[in-house]
Amino acid sequence: MKSSKEQHKNRRMELPRDVVVGHGAINDTGKVCKDLKLNGNAIIIAGSSTLRAAGKTVQVVLEDSGFNVDVAIVKEPTMDEVAKVENLSREIKPSFLLGVGGGKSIDIAKLASMHLDIPFISVPTAASHDGIVSSRASIIKDKTTVSETAHTPLAVIADTAIIILAPYRLLASGCGDLISNYTAVRDWELAHRVRGEPFSEYSSIISKMTAKILIESAETIKPGIEESAWTVMKALVASGVAMSIAGSSRPASGSEHKFSHALNEMAPNPALHGEQCGVGTIMMMYLHGGNWQEIRNALMVIGAPTSANELKIKEEYIIQALLHAHRIRPERYTILGTGLTQEAAENVASITKVI
């Protein structure tokens, strides 16, 4: 039997084959698909508004390139919606799927394509989180959101002219998700030292560098400026590559993500994933003894929330989430260890000005 060290060396890295980011990139969809030697039938998976924003254009462009295209309109990313796409696929027999949307459609396309054993292409209409590039699908199962293993997209086509038209809050949220790489990597290093967890130097450096570049570019990220969508999308792609190299979400998801998931369970009206992760990063950086002020300042400059008030979440839920966070995905060791005390939770939240 191989030692765990040898197995670690055998790991597979699944990366996208083609990444197109830029103004009008969506018009290259046909060419990208042909270059990837795709042919025949395709299904576009989109929400009703993302179909209008981008899906229709994707359909026309693909049809002009000789593809037969069907459309599946989806709502929430549930297993029922995944099954709906799979049933349609059994009828139409597509050679690939396209997820067109802010995240939900992409998650559904990702998981359905995995089950159907066909490739999928990610066409994000917003840059609100790193799921648009990664191999993990966030799906609602029995009323809770779970992260399912799926395939990395065969290609990512991100049209910055479309992404910049999405509400700015989504782009700012994407920045929060990226900045969280800082504490995620610290947690990973800690787990490596304390628990001997496999660690990838390359992956961690890419992940940290991505967050660093984003923080250094904070001043340039503004509503209505297409260059901002470009900056954030490039960072999301780099973060996705870091996850592909690691073969897990470890380089981009640590204690701050546990806090965000805990908030989703506790708070009646949670904020956006990246917004919560950004606030989580401020607090977890404090726990790590790092420069939490730098994180807070960057989020403020970008215009992302830095407090309970700005998240529109009551302070008591912040504390409850801090106390509960270590129970989320307990096998993933982080700075939260076996949990914070009430006093420690109140301290971290108040010192970092979250409450």
Which is nearer to Zn ion, 177 or 275 (by Cβ)?
177
Nearest distance from C-beta of residue 3 to Zn ion, angstroms: 32
- Both tokens assigned to 113: 């394509």
Residues 23-52 that bind Zn ion (CB under 5 A): none
Question: Do 150 and 137 touch, CB atoms closer than 8 A?
Answer: yes
Stretch that binds Zn ion, among 2-10, 139-147, 173-181, 285-293 (CB under 5 A): 173-181
Nearest distance from C-beta of residue 277 to Zn ion, angstroms: 5
Tell me the residue number closest to Zn ion, measured at CB: 177
Which is nearer to Zn ion, 22 or 247 (by Cβ)?
247
Collapsing DSSP to helix, strand or coil, 147 comes out as strand
Nearest distance from C-beta of residue 170 to Zn ion, angstroms: 13
Number of residues that bind Zn ion (CB under 5 A): 1
Question: Do 39 and 93 touch, CB atoms closer than 8 A?
Answer: no
In angstroms, the CA 336 to CA 41 distance is 48
Which is nearer to Zn ion, 62 or 263 (by Cβ)?
263
> Does residue number 107 form part of the binding site for Zn ion (CB under 5 A)?
no
Note every long-range contact of 224-230, with CB atoms under 8 Å and residues 24 or more positions apart, other chains counting. Answer: 224/164, 224/168, 225/164, 226/23, 226/160, 226/161, 226/164, 228/164, 228/171, 229/127, 229/160, 229/163, 229/164, 229/171, 230/21, 230/22, 230/160
Which is nearer to Zn ion, 94 or 103 (by Cβ)?
103
| Helices of type H across the chain | 4-9, 29-35, 48-50, 56-64, 79-92, 104-116, 160-163, 168-179, 181-195, 201-216, 226-246, 255-266, 273-287, 292-302, 308-311, 315-324, 342-351
> Does residue number 177 form part of the binding site for Zn ion (CB under 5 A)?
yes
Positive or negative: CA dihedral 336, 340, 344, 350: positive
Stretch that binds Zn ion, among 53-61, 100-108, 177-185, 320-328 (CB under 5 A): 177-185
Positive or negative: CA dihedral 199, 201, 202, 205: positive
Stretch that binds Zn ion, among 156-164, 176-184, 203-211, 303-311 (CB under 5 A): 176-184
Stretch that binds Zn ion, among 172-180, 207-215, 216-224, 227-235 (CB under 5 A): 172-180
Stretch that binds Zn ion, among 37-45, 171-179, 193-201, 234-242 (CB under 5 A): 171-179
Nearest distance from C-beta of residue 180 to Zn ion, angstroms: 6
Count, residues in the chain: 355
Which is nearer to Zn ion, 38 or 242 (by Cβ)?
242
Nearest distance from C-beta of residue 264 to Zn ion, angstroms: 12
> Does residue number 159 form part of the binding site for Zn ion (CB under 5 A)?
no
Task: Give the footprint of Zn ion on this chain (CB under 5 A).
Answer: 177
